[in-house]
Amino acid sequence: MRFLLAPEQRAFADSLDAMLTAADTPSVVRAWGRGAPMSGRALWSRIAEAGVFALAVPEAYEGMGPRPVELAVAFVELGRHAVPGPLVETVAAATLLTELAARDDTGPAKRLLPALASGASTATLALPPTPVPYALDADVADVRLAVSPAPEVPADPADAPAPAHATGATGAPQSATAAELRLAPPPGPPRPSLDPARRLSPLASGGELLATGPHVTAAAARALTTARLVTAAQALGVGLALLDRTVAYVKQRTQFGVPIGSFQAVKHQLADAELALEFARPLVLGAAVTMTGRDVAAAKVTACEAAYATARTALQLHGAIGYTAEYDLSLWLTRARALRTAWGSPDTCRAAVLSATAARP
């Protein structure tokens, strides 16, 4: 047992942090939300060059994954800088294609994965009607994937052993209707999100059929697990950024002649935020190590609730300035709210923890 990031992993996080700090992500986020994705696409390329998307893609398809721990490390940094775009969805799509290939259906992987690894393509993914009815940023994504019907959420094949290549075993519950993976046609106008940088599109039915059968259900369940993990990591990064910004603010904001950060009522709210985030962190990294549905669901609900609670504290301690769209804090505040329900609400994740606990030997 050694539950500690290696120096190389910490250096990877630090280099991403430095790159994203220099990238002035707040202006990128705002442009993305206005429907001007140029700067976001440029940033996407740099994130890809750093190897982030390749972490979700096997070497056979020009990646260097799957590496869930490094993915989690990277997504903490992406969240810390509120990077916009279908980041989770691209990694989830890559996982879906990888898992299809692991079940002897290599066509879609050969066709799509190398461009996802290199950053040449962005992807989005929906599992309609639940648990993921909308595809994030489908209006700008190059690859729009839809799986229907989606895997049943509580019966989580991610807890089953990985499929053997030779047998093509699915590890998935048999569904009455064979699941289909399709390349969805261009979407209609996106629905606005509470987070102005997120653009939600229902995917139209139809489109090219890429794969069908029970292995699609199994692969989609794996994609869902990966999406939950990196959403949790992203939320953790969002929460850490909110805490950092708020700590800095209460040190310099003075009232009654002293920094408001010297008041116990302020300190204890921030101590609680730190507590929530620092207990979410090992759940996120532990889930990346085990990749069980139980650990991933636990990480998702805990990291997202910690980030959201930190957002509430950040807003309260900033006062009215934090309530304005103009102030950059808003980018993280609204992101924390959106991630909380994306890829599995708190209720859904708690249900997954309970059903996995009941199924334990």
> How far, in Å, are 11, 43, 59 from residue 73 at the CA level?
10, 18, 20
Choice between 3 and 189, CB closer to another protein? 3
Choice between 202 and 239, CB closer to another protein? 239
- In the numeric block, which tokens belong to residue 155? 């019966």
**Least distance (Å) from another protein to the CB of residue 43?**
21
Choice between 37 and 51, CB closer to another protein? 51
Task: Please give the Cα distance from 352 to 359 (Å, whole number).
Answer: 11
312 by Cβ neighbours in 10 Å (0-12 / 13-18 / 19+) ranks as: middle
- In the numeric block, which tokens belong to residue 166? 């030779």
**Least distance (Å) from another protein to the CB of residue 282?**
4
Choice between 8 and 326, CB closer to another protein? 8
**Residues 286-292: contacts with CB under 8 Å, at least 24 apart:** 286/3, 287/72, 287/229, 287/232, 288/68, 288/69, 288/71, 288/72, 288/229, 288/233, 289/3, 289/68, 289/69, 291/68, 291/158, 291/225, 291/226, 291/229, 292/158, 292/159, 292/356
Choice between 22 and 265, CB closer to another protein? 265
Cβ pair 238, 246 in contact under 8 A: no
**Least distance (Å) from another protein to the CB of residue 106?**
25
**Least distance (Å) from another protein to the CB of residue 241?**
14
**Least distance (Å) from another protein to the CB of residue 209?**
36
**Least distance (Å) from another protein to the CB of residue 275?**
5
Determine the length of the chain: 361
DSSP string, 179-237: PEEEEPPPP-SPEE-SSTT-EEEEPPS--EEEEESHHHHHHHHHHHHHHHHHHHHHHHH
Q: Spell out the SS3 assignment of 111-150.
A: HHHHHHHHCCCCEEEEECCCCECEEECCCCCCEEEEEECC
Task: Please give the Cα distance from 298 to 282 (Å, whole number).
Answer: 11
Cβ pair 187, 201 in contact under 8 A: yes
**Least distance (Å) from another protein to the CB of residue 251?**
7
Cβ pair 33, 93 in contact under 8 A: no
Kindly list the residues in this chain that would bind another protein in the complex (CB under 8 A).
1-6, 8-9, 12, 51, 64, 67, 69-70, 243, 247, 250-251, 258-259, 261-264, 266-268, 270-272, 274-275, 278-280, 282-283, 285-286, 288-290, 295, 298, 301-302, 347, 350-351, 353-354, 357-358
Choice between 12 and 32, CB closer to another protein? 12
**Least distance (Å) from another protein to the CB of residue 72?**
10
Task: Please give the Cα distance from 59 to 280 (Å, whole number).
Answer: 31
Choice between 39 and 226, CB closer to another protein? 226
Choice between 200 and 243, CB closer to another protein? 243
**Least distance (Å) from another protein to the CB of residue 6?**
5
Choice between 184 and 291, CB closer to another protein? 291
